[in-house]
Amino acid sequence: MAIDRLNDRVALITGAGSGIGRASALRMASEGAAVMCADLNVEGAQTTAAQIAEHGGRSATMELDVTSEDAVKDALAQTVAVLGGLDVIFNNAGIGGAAYTWDQTIDVNLTGVYYGTYHGAAALVERGGGAIINTASIAGLNGLVSSASTRDPNLPVEPGAGAYVAAKHGVVGITRQFAVTYGPRNVRVNAICPGYIHTPMTAGIREMDGAEEFLAGLHPMGRLGQPEEIAAAAAFLASDDASFVNGVALPVDGGYTAR
Ligand SMILES: NC(=O)c1ccc[n+]([C@@H]2O[C@H](COP(=O)([O-])OP(=O)(O)OC[C@H]3O[C@@H](n4cnc5c(N)ncnc54)[C@H](O)[C@@H]3O)[C@@H](O)[C@H]2O)c1
């Protein structure tokens, strides 16, 4: 039986050109939503839109840098102008890894989500309500462990890890604050906390010797997740099936945070 929970809804998804964002765009479109696929990598967003079209869904694309407050405001307005509405905002774009500085990681993963939640909540109130979903991480709930630090306990926190964990904890905080403030105005704000997922973001660490096995072992289910498993949670939180779910940081992590 096809699920049509999101019929007549319009969703804006950031980072829709890859990984979790692409899988979520496809999933929400398959449930009936029209999806604005926004990404810094506009070609990636166009590929996602083409895949949605192949399955008979409706979408549009736009180039978006979530670190620009004006660009985020424009993306919200463009979604309404092009797709005729706005009901769901998935602030999902993110970066991770040692290649990024503290400022870059905070700008994209924390400030970008703040812009999307701040301006997104106001836009949804104007339209009578809606749902915001933010992509946090297990790193928004716990510190991270690395295979290197288990081999050598004298290592410092890995480059990138400190900023990533700080940003993702911040995303959980933003989610809770906006859920409290905007719940009375019919805007639900929730976060998803994925475990390690098979996406381009994790390709580099997964390719390191023994890393995939090490990472799989951190999850009680003994494996990494697939982007479609995060997309399923995002579609749930976007839908009326989650009509009384507000302010949660939902781990979708194979049990990673259970221990
Ligand atoms: N993959 C994992 O294991 C994992 C685990 C927990 C949380 N997350 C989070 O999930 C989200 C999606 O990650 P993914 O694994 O799908 O990664 P990904 O690299 O496959 O996709 C991220 C997308 O975000 C886009 N992006 C980056 N900076 C941007 C910016 N400034 N403005 C707009 N778009 C931008 C990229 O172009 C890319 O298309 C991120 O927030 C990430 O931190 C991922």
What pLDDT, on the 0 to 100 scale, is given for residue 1?
Answer: 55
What pLDDT, on the 0 to 100 scale, is given for residue 42?
Answer: 98
> What average pLDDT does the structure give for the chain?
96
Topology of domain 10-198+227-238, per CATH? Rossmann fold (3.40.50)
Token pair listed for 259: 């221990």
Indicate if the pLDDT at residue 216 is higher than 70.
Answer: yes
| 212 close to ligand 1 (CB < 6 Angstrom) | no
What pLDDT, on the 0 to 100 scale, is given for residue 218?
Answer: 97
What one-character-per-residue DSSP string does 233-259 give? HHHHHHSGGGTT--S-EEEESTTGGG-
Mean pLDDT of 146-153: 79
- Global pTM value: 0.98
Q: Is there a catalytic annotation at residue 164?
A: yes
* Contact in structure between 52 and 35 (CB atoms under 8 Å): yes
Percentage of the chain exceeding pLDDT 90: 90
> What is the sign, positive or negative, of the torsion defined by CA atoms of 157, 158, 164, 168?
negative
Q: Which one of the listed residues 100, 114, 164, 182 is annotated catalytic?
A: 164
| 111 close to ligand 1 (CB < 6 Angstrom) | no
Residues 179, 168: Cα–Cα separation, whole Å? 17
Give the pLDDT confidence of 8-19 residue by residue, as tens digits: 999 999 999 999
For ligand 1, atom 19: residue with the closest CA: 201
Distance 63 CA to ligand 1 centre (A): 15
Where are the chain's structural domains? 10-198+227-238
